[in-house]
Amino acid sequence: MHRPLLLSALLLPALVAQAEESDVTASDINTWKGSAELGSIRTTGNTDTSSLNAKFGVFHKGLRWDSGLKLEALTSQEDDVTSKEKYAAALQLNRNFAENHYLALLAEYEDDRFSGYEYQSLVSAGYGYRAIHEQDMALDLEAGPGYRYDRLDEGGVIEEGAVLRLAAKFFWTIREGVEFGQLVSMDDGAESTVWKSETGLKSQINGSLATKLTYKVKHTSDVPEDSKNTDTEFGVTLVYSF
């Protein structure tokens, strides 16, 4: 499997979704919602450091299909030397069959230039169940097969194979203007197992602006030589919602 095939796997569900939704009137579909996040830190003195954390996401809920796209970029420099550089994208399409049941289609791509990989990618299709579906709280559970395609920095070696993907997504509006989110996933394959966790707490400042604290953990059971198994990120960002 090569990059064009991965791109096709990512785009094909989107085209199907568009065709399915084309006969649905505008009154049946919610408007698009999205957010843009930006965080930056700059220190000077004994050590000059700077970092930039940017995220963009859009979500659309339809009569048959729900769709979401997330883009992320993280860079960090210390004494004019790049110490962290990561770019990631994720597209998820959910085909609703009933109020609490859906087909989850996911495509992910990550380019972390200090991970030992040139890039890592995943496509999966699985069953989704909305265990909690209330106005101020939601819990989605997903399980299904997927396919991982990774390319190592050293020698361009390809690691690929089938995986089992499990995921849980929890959202809770604690009170008006304060939201908590927890996303946990596991991709279990013959080559390695990847665990991901993202915890976020967002506090609204006014109608469109909010601050957000985010803590992310990624653990890979088997990694390239001289790479660490666990990566963590802590971010403080300003969020603009639209």
In a domain, 28, yes or no: no
Classify residue 24: in a domain, yes or no.
no
Residue 218 lies in a domain: yes
Query: What's the confidence (pLDDT) of residue 240?
Result: 97
Instruction: Give 149: exposed, middle or buried? Use CB within 10 Å, 0-12, 13-18, 19+.
Output: buried
Q: Is residue 155 included in any domain, yes or no?
A: yes
Residue 204 inside a domain? The answer is yes
Structure tokens at 74: 């993280």
> Sign of torsion, CA 37 61 87 172?
positive
Min mean pLDDT across 33-47, 118-132, 183-197 is at 33-47
List the CATH number of the domain containing 45: 2.40.160.40
Asked if residue 10 belongs to a domain, the reply is: yes
H or E segment to which residue 10 belongs: helix 3-21
Domain count for the chain:
1
Is the confidence at residue 176, as pLDDT, over 50? yes
CB 4 within 8 A of CB 12: no
Residue 1 is predicted with a pLDDT of: 44
Q: What pLDDT is stored for residue 215 in this prediction? A: 95
Indicate the SS3 state at residue 26: helix
- Distance, in Å, from the CA atom of 65 to the CA atom of 238, rounded to the nearest integer, reads 30
pLDDT of 24 higher than 50: no
Domain enclosing residue 237, as ranges: 3-19+34-241
Task: Place 224 in a pLDDT band, splitting at 50, 70 and 90.
Answer: confident
Q: In this structure, what are the phi and psi dihedrals at residue 132, rounded to the nearest 5 degrees?
A: -130, 130
Listed residue (218, 197, 7, 196) closest to 116, CA to CA: 218
118 CB contacts (<8 Å, ≥6 apart)?
111, 151, 152, 153, 156
Pairing of strands 101-112, 230-241: unpaired
Q: How confident is the model at residue 7 (pLDDT cuts 50, 70, 90)?
A: very low
- Number of other residues whose CB lies within 10 A of the CB of residue 121: 23
pLDDT in tens, 124-166: 999 999 999 998 999 999 999 999 999 998 888 999 999 999 9
Question: Is the predicted pLDDT of residue 216 greater than 80, yes or no?
Answer: yes
SS3 content of the chain, % helix, strand, coil (to 5): 10, 70, 20
Interval 113-123 mean pLDDT: 93
Residue 20 pLDDT > 80: no
d(CA 12, CA 163): 21
